[in-house]
Chain A
Amino acid sequence: MADIVIRNVRKSYGKTEVVHGVDLTFEAASFVVILGPSGCGKSTLLRMIAGLEEISSGEIAIAGRVVNKLEPRERGCAMVFQNYALYPHMSVAENIGYALKVAGVPKAERRARVEATATTVGLGDYLDRKPAQLSGGQRQRVAMARAIVREPKVFLFDEPLSNLDAKLRVQMRHEIRRLHQRLGTTSVFVTHDQIEAMTLADTLVVMNQGRVEQVGRPSEVYARPRTLFVAGFIGSPPMNTVPARITAPGVATTAAGWTIEFEAADFRAPFGTDVLVGIRPEHVRIVAHGGHDLPVEFTEEIGTGRLHHGHLAGVPFVVHEEAGPGEARPARLSVQLPASHVHLFDPETGLRLDAAPTGTATRALSAA
Chain B
Amino acid sequence: MDKRVTFKSLWLAGALIAPQMLLVFVFFYWPASQAFYWAFTTQPPFGGVNEWVGLQNFREIFADRVYWNSVQVSVLFAVASTTLSIVMSLVLAVAVDRQLTGYRTYRFVLFWPYAIAAPAVGLAFRFIFAPQAGFMAALNDAFPGLWNPAVNGGHAMALIVFANSWKMVAYNFIFFLAGLQSIPRSLLEAAAMDGSSVVRRVFDIQLPLLAPTFFFLLVINITETFVDSFGIVDITTGGGPARATDLMVFKIYSDGFKALDYSMAAAQSIVLMTLVVCLTFIQFRFVERKIHYK
CA distance A77 to B189 in the complex (A): 12
Q: Mark A77-94, 1 if CB is under 8 A from B, else 0.
A: 111010101111100000
> Is A103 close to B, CB under 8 A?
yes
Contacts of A88 in B (CB 8 A): 187, 209, 291-294
Confirm or deny: A212 has a beta carbon within 8 angstroms of a beta carbon on chain B: no
Q: Which of the 9-residue segments B77-85, B89-97, B101-109, B192-200 touches chain A? A: B192-200
Known interface pairs A88-B209, A89-B208, A102-B200. Does A73 touch B193 (Cβ–Cβ under 8 Å)? yes
B184 at the interface (CB under 8 A from A): yes
Contact indicator per residue, chain A 102-142, by CB within 8 Å of chain B (1) or not (0): 11000000000000000000000000000110000000000
| Chain A: number of interface residues, binned into ranges | 20 to 34
Chain B residues with Cβ below 8 Å from A131 are 294
Chain B residue numbers with a CB within 8 Å of A238 are: none
Residue B191 CB within 8 A of the other chain: yes
Residue of B nearest to A102 (CB): B195
Say how far A5's CB is from chain B's closest CB, in angstroms: 21
The answer to whether A98 and B193 have CB atoms under 8 Å apart is no
B294 & A85 in contact (Cβ 8 Å cutoff): no
Q: For B195, what are the chain A residues with a Cβ–Cβ distance below 8 Å? A: 73, 99, 102-103
Once bound together, how far apart are the Cα atoms of A51 and B211, in whole Å? 29
B292 contacts A83, C-beta separation under 8 Å:
no
A98 partner residues in chain B, CB cutoff 8 A = 191, 194, 196, 204
Q: Which residues of B contact A86 (CB under 8 A)?
A: 190
Q: Given A102-B200, A132-B292, decide whether A87 and B191 contact each other with a Cβ distance below 8 A.
A: yes
Chain A residues whose CB sits within 8 angstroms of the CB of B189 once the complex forms: 52, 72, 79, 81, 85
A40 interface residue per 8 A CB criterion: no
Mask: chain A, 142-159; 1 = CB below 8 Å from B; 0 = not: 000010001000000000
Instruction: Tell whether A50 is near chain B: CB-to-CB under 8 Å.
Output: yes
The CA-CA distance from A359 to B276 in the complex, in Å, is 75
CB-CB under 8 A for A87 and B190, given A98-B204, A102-B200: yes
Residues of chain B with a CB closer than 8 A to A50's CB:
193
Q: Which residue of B lies closest to A73 (CB)?
A: B195
Q: How far is the CB of B193 from chain A (nearest CB, A)?
A: 5
Report whether B200 and A85 are in contact in the complex, using a CB–CB cutoff of 8 Å.
no
Contact A79 B190 (CB under 8 A): yes
What is the CA–CA distance of A79 and B187 in the complex, to the nearest angstrom?
Answer: 12
B186 touches A102 (CB 8 A): no
Cβ A85 vs Cβ B194 within 8 A: no
Complex-state Cα separation, A81 to B192, whole angstroms? 13
A52 close to B192 (CB less than 8 A) = yes
User: In the complex, which residues of chain A have a beta carbon less than 8 angstroms from the beta carbon of B184?
Assistant: 83, 85
What 0/1 pattern do residues 47 to 69 of A give for CB contact below 8 A with B? 00011100000000000000000
A83 x B186 contact (CB < 8 A): yes
Asked if B205 lies at the interface with its beta carbon under 8 angstroms from chain A, I say yes
B193 touches which of A77, A83, A87 (Cβ 8 Å)? A77
Residues of B within 8 A of A87 (CB): 187, 190-191, 204-205
The distance in angstroms between the C-alpha atoms of A73 and B197, with both chains bound, is 8
Alpha-carbon separation in the docked complex, A77 to B194 (Å) = 9
- Bound complex: CA of A102 vs CA of B200, how far in Å? 9
Residues from chain A with a CB closer than 8 A to the CB of B291 are 88
A231 to B259, CA, bound (A): 92
CB distance from B190 to the nearest CB of A (A): 4
Query: A218: shortest Cβ distance to chain B, in Å?
Result: 28
| Complex Cα–Cα for A77 and B187 (A) | 16
A102: contacting residue among B194, B292, B293, CB under 8 A: B194
Interface centre among B291, B292, B294 (most CB of A within 10 A): B294
Which of B186, B187, B194, B292 gathers most chain A CB within 10 Å? B194
Q: Which of A73, A81, A132, A146 contacts B186 (CB 8 A)?
A: A81
Which residue of chain A has its CB nearest to the CB of B195? A73
CA distance A125 to B40 in the complex (A): 62
Q: Which residue of A lies closest to B187 (CB)?
A: A85
User: Which residue of B184, B186, B211 has the most chain A CB atoms within 10 A of its CB atom?
Assistant: B186
Contact B192 A73 (CB under 8 A): yes
CB distance from A105 to the nearest CB of B (A): 11
- B213 CB, min distance to chain A CBs, angstroms: 13
Q: Closest residue to B190 on the A side, CB-wise?
A: A85
What is the CB-to-nearest-CB distance from B103 to chain A, in angstroms, rounded to a whole number? Answer: 17
Which one of B189, B208, B292 has the highest number of Cβ atoms from chain A below 10 Å of its Cβ? B189
Contact B192 A89 (CB under 8 A): no
> Roughly how many angstroms separate A193 CA and B204 CA in the complex, as a whole number?
35
Chain A residue, CB-CB nearest to B208: A89
A81-B189, A83-B184, A87-B187 known; A73 vs B196 contact (CB < 8 Å): yes
Q: How far, in whole Å, are A281 and B206 apart by their CA atoms in the complex? A: 53
Tell me, rounded to whole Å, the shortest Cβ–Cβ distance linking B211 to chain A.
8
Q: Mark out the residues of chain B between 242 and 294 whose CB falls within 8 Å of any chain A CB in the assembled complex.
A: 291-294
| A72 contacts B292, C-beta separation under 8 Å | no
Q: Which chain B positions have C-beta within 8 A of A132?
A: 292, 294
Interface residues of A (CB under 8 A from B): 50-52, 71-73, 77-79, 81, 83, 85-89, 98-99, 102-103, 131-132, 146, 150
- List 19 A-B residue pairs with CB atoms under 8 Å apart, sorted by A's residue number: A50-B193, A52-B189, A52-B193, A72-B189, A73-B194, A81-B186, A83-B294, A86-B190, A87-B190, A88-B209, A88-B291, A88-B292, A89-B209, A98-B194, A99-B193, A102-B194, A102-B195, A146-B190, A146-B194
* Extra pairs beyond A52-B192, A85-B184, A99-B194 (15, CB < 8 Å): A50-B193, A72-B192, A73-B193, A73-B195, A79-B193, A81-B186, A81-B189, A81-B190, A83-B184, A83-B186, A85-B190, A87-B191, A89-B209, A99-B193, A103-B195
